[in-house]
Structure 1
Amino acid sequence: MPLVVRLLGLAVFAMGTSEFMLSGLTPDIAADLHVSIPTAATLTSGFAVGMIVGAPAAALLSLRLPRRTALVVFLAAFLLTHVAGALTSSFALLLALRFVGALANAGFLAVALATAVSLVAPDAKGRATSALLGGVTVACVAGVPGGALLAGLWGWRAAFWAVALLTLPALLALVRSVPGGHAEGAPRPDARRELAALRRPRLQLALILGASVNGATFCAFTYLAPLLTHVTGLAASWVPLLLALFGAGSFVGVRLGGRFADGHAARLLVVGTLALCAGWPLLALAAGSAPAALTSAFVLGAVSFAVGTTLISRALYASPDAPTLGGAYATSAFNVGAALGPWLGGLPLAAGADFRAPLWVSAALACLAGAVGGGALLVRKVLLVRALRAREARWDAARAASD
């Protein structure tokens, strides 16, 4: 894998740390900036909205720029929002900075996906996607707990400074390593053509499946900590281990997705989706057992991210005429799932259900993805059979006329 892709993964690691670390910093931010905890929690929502809106918008703005310029601009903007966030004493400004940082994050990820797949063979998009998204999973395993540790020692602002410091070497390395122009041999960037790619059924299917699977993943992930303490009955000191196991599983899943997404995508998606349809209910039923809960966190993290990585690569394969917006569409779809999943999981909790309920919601979302994917496959087979029969009928008619 080219060194440039690894450097892009380093930047994605810093961005993933920033995206997920807020869950552990909310109480400290609320106390320091004199707002309520629910108000401080809007920092997470603001970031998610910025990712959803920002991916296609920022990618469109980047089309006329060389990829190195676009990557450097987005990454520099991301770094500056964290420096400013570490210095501000205004919650309103911090919220605005989180939104701007999410725009930069989304734009960077869209262009980084396009850059990564342009630097590898046409049939290696899955491996390039895996190498890039590995940074997100490493953030789950190391970056988020590290941010929480820094916040506990020196306050929440230290976590923002740490993200800025992580971003700086990636920024300097990308200035020297990323090719300056557009990919050689690639079609000239054209906003109208790239937007038109969204009409492709294969791309639409990959985006719908990606949103559903990621919704299931983040619905369950959001409520894993209270599940462990309220249902499994373990002390809060076990929560970091649970989250680390989920993160380690997600890293394994991304690697598996990268290995099989290029040559065996359909098989991986079918098996993985069925495993999620069964796995989330099994965890709900077995959540009272600590070994079952801890083991399931690793296994389901691996399966979820293997399927998710494969769907991102399918979106890129389905949009060859939209190398930049294809990644942006995938980024937006997955963040729609990341935003809707926790909200849907919270609905039964608000109605009085226990913390097993979000796992059943995750199962429903996974089964929805399976039903949509299975229905699309069935329709495709029916259309193929009809096309073959029509071709045979034309052949028979032509042969009869010649006789």
Structure 2
Amino acid sequence: MPLPLYLLAVAVFAMGTSEFMPAGLLPDIAADLDVSVGTASTLTSAFAVGMVVGAPLMAALARNLPARASLLGCVLVFLASHVAGAVTSSFAVLFATRVVAALANAGFLALALTTAAALVPPDRKGRALAVLLSGTTVATIAGVPGGSLLGTLLDWRATFWAVAVLCLPAAVGILTGVPARPGPRDSSAGPSLRQELAQLRNARLLVVMLLGALVNAATFASLTFLAPLVTDTAGLGELWVTVALVLFGAGSLTGVTVAGRLSDHRPGAVVAACGPPLLLGWPAMAVLANRPTALLLLVFTQGALSFAVGSTLISRVLYAAAGAPTMAGSYATSALNTGAATGPVIAATTLHTPAGAAGPLWVSGGLVAVALAVRVSLRNPVSGLAP
């Protein structure tokens, strides 16, 4: 894989750390800025919505600009938003910085997905995507737990400063390592924006986007509420929440790495092999959540299966949107983040039911079941997109 892919993954690591870090910082942010924890939690929603809206918007605005300049601009805006967030004493300003950071993150990821696909031969998009998404998985292993620890030892502002600092090597790497134009970015040399948007009428593309959103919704439905499952249901101490997050991240890195080697040529086989165990794993986790060893083992396994299936489906989006060379990454990004935004909302409705802390796990199982049912009913749209 080309070196620029790994440089892009460094930026994805910084952005992934930022996306997930507020979960462990909300009480401190609320106390410092004199708002309720519920109000502080809207920072997460703001970021998710910004990602969904920002991906196509930023990709459309940057489609005629050199890739390197666009990527660098997104990183610098992301950096500046974290500096502003770190120094503000106003919750409204902090909220605004999270929206701006989400727009920059969405734009970067959309552009990075498209750039990654252009840096490799047409039949290696899945492997390129795996390298790129490894930045997110490493963020869950090291970045998010590290940010939580830093916030505990110092304060929440230190975590924002740390993310800003992480952006500096990413910016230098992009400036020195990413080609200015790794692929067709001039509208005169490719389809117009109208033609690229018309790809969204492609039923196969919409189906694969739906499948990717469903699987990612299932992933984030349970990941968001992992802490009470570990501390309340399994009866473990708070330190074990970090251990569980690291295990999930290690599993996700394993899944995306293995699937990345197979998803280009055997996407249907990846989904067929990993989909049913993923479906069964969520209810098994709900039933066995009071057994710490079983719970932690399943956290790793579900992380691996979720990212194996999810990354394969997102790579299929890039293939299905081949007629939209500058917008394909934004379609993949929107699918991912639609799932990330809706899954936790659905899961939250089960917390005050008899299922309790295990409710989100049953939601995840249901979402995966819907995804697999759609795949079967439409005669396997995933493998039909092999190059």
TM-score normalised to structure 2 length: 0.95
Select between 44-53 and 188-197 the one with higher mean Cα deviation: 188-197
Q: 1:48: which partner in 2?
A: 48
> In structure 1, what is the Cα distance between the partners aligned to 2:382 and 2:239?
50
- Tell me by how many angstroms 1:350 deviates: 3.0
Q: 2:119: which partner in 1?
A: 119
Q: 2:367: which partner in 1?
A: 365
Moved over 2 A (4+): 184-190, 350-353, 378-381
Q: 1:215: which partner in 2?
A: 217
> In structure 1, what is the Cα distance between the partners aligned to 2:42 and 2:119?
38
Is the 1:138–1:251 contact (alpha carbons within 8 Å) kept by the matching residues of 2?
A: yes
Is the 1:109–1:331 contact (alpha carbons within 8 Å) kept by the matching residues of 2?
A: yes
**Amino acid of the structure 2 residue aligned with 1:354:** G
**Amino acid of the structure 2 residue aligned with 1:316:** L
> In structure 2, what is the Cα distance between the partners aligned to 1:350 and 1:326?
39
Q: 2:316: which partner in 1?
A: 314
Q: 2:240: which partner in 1?
A: 238
Is the 1:63–1:190 contact (alpha carbons within 8 Å) kept by the matching residues of 2?
A: no
Is the 1:110–1:328 contact (alpha carbons within 8 Å) kept by the matching residues of 2?
A: yes
Is the 1:63–1:189 contact (alpha carbons within 8 Å) kept by the matching residues of 2?
A: no
Larger Cα-atom Rg: 1
Please list the CA deviations of residues 310-343 of structure 1 after superposition, one character each: whole Å capped at 9, or x if unmatched.
0110000111121231111111111111111111
1:12 equivalent in alignment to 2:12:
yes
**Amino acid of the structure 2 residue aligned with 1:28:** D
- Tell me by how many angstroms 1:282 deviates: 1.0
Q: 2:206: which partner in 1?
A: 204
Q: 2:89: which partner in 1?
A: 89
Counterpart of 2:349 in 1: which secondary structure?
helix
Is the 2:119–2:182 contact (alpha carbons within 8 Å) kept by the matching residues of 1?
A: no
- Tell me by how many angstroms 1:184 deviates: 5.8
- Tell me by how many angstroms 1:237 deviates: 2.2
- Tell me by how many angstroms 1:356 deviates: 1.4
Query: Which of 343, 346, 349 is equivalent to 1:344?
Result: 346
**Amino acid of the structure 2 residue aligned with 1:244:** V
Please list the CA deviations of residues 65-94 of structure 1 after superposition, one character each: whole Å capped at 9, or x if unmatched.
111111111111111001111111110000
- Tell me by how many angstroms 1:190 deviates: 2.2
> In structure 2, what is the Cα distance between the partners aligned to 1:323 and 1:296?
38
Q: 1:122 to 1:287 in 2, by over 3 A?
A: same
Counterpart of 2:23 in 1: which secondary structure?
helix
Please list the CA deviations of residues 257-289 of structure 1 after superposition, one character each: whole Å capped at 9, or x if unmatched.
211111110011122221111111111111121
Please list the CA deviations of residues 132-182 of structure 1 after superposition, one character each: whole Å capped at 9, or x if unmatched.
000000000000111111111221111011101100111122112221135
- Tell me by how many angstroms 1:224 deviates: 1.5
Q: 1:390: which partner in 2?
A: none
Q: 1:294 to 1:378 in 2, by over 3 A?
A: closer
- Tell me by how many angstroms 1:225 deviates: 1.3
Q: 2:337: which partner in 1?
A: 335
> In structure 1, what is the Cα distance between the partners aligned to 2:170 and 2:192?
28
Is the 1:113–1:324 contact (alpha carbons within 8 Å) kept by the matching residues of 2?
A: no
1:179 equivalent in alignment to 2:179:
yes
Which runs of 5 or more residues in structure 2 are unaligned?
A: none
Is the 2:65–2:185 contact (alpha carbons within 8 Å) kept by the matching residues of 1?
A: no
Please list the CA deviations of residues 184-216 of structure 1 after superposition, one character each: whole Å capped at 9, or x if unmatched.
699535211210111112211110001100011
Q: 2:161: which partner in 1?
A: 161
> In structure 2, what is the Cα distance between the partners aligned to 1:317 and 1:379?
12
Query: Which of 278, 281, 284 is equivalent to 2:280?
Result: 278
> In structure 2, what is the Cα distance between the partners aligned to 1:294 and 1:92?
38
Counterpart of 2:39 in 1: which secondary structure?
helix
Q: 2:271: which partner in 1?
A: 269
Aligned length: 381
1:103 equivalent in alignment to 2:125:
no
> In structure 1, what is the Cα distance between the partners aligned to 2:325 and 2:20?
27
Q: 2:66: which partner in 1?
A: 66
> In structure 1, what is the Cα distance between the partners aligned to 2:42 and 2:163?
20
Select between 56-65 and 172-181 the one with higher mean Cα deviation: 172-181
- Tell me by how many angstroms 1:256 deviates: 1.3
- Tell me by how many angstroms 1:378 deviates: 6.6
Aligned pairs (5 A) from 1:288-307: 288-307=290-309
Select between 58-67 and 350-359 the one with higher mean Cα deviation: 350-359
Q: 2:147: which partner in 1?
A: 147
> In structure 2, what is the Cα distance between the partners aligned to 1:173 and 1:300?
33
> In structure 1, what is the Cα distance between the partners aligned to 2:205 and 2:106?
19
Please list the CA deviations of residues 4-40 of structure 1 after superposition, one character each: whole Å capped at 9, or x if unmatched.
0000000000000000111011111111111111111
The RMSD of aligned alpha carbons is 1.6
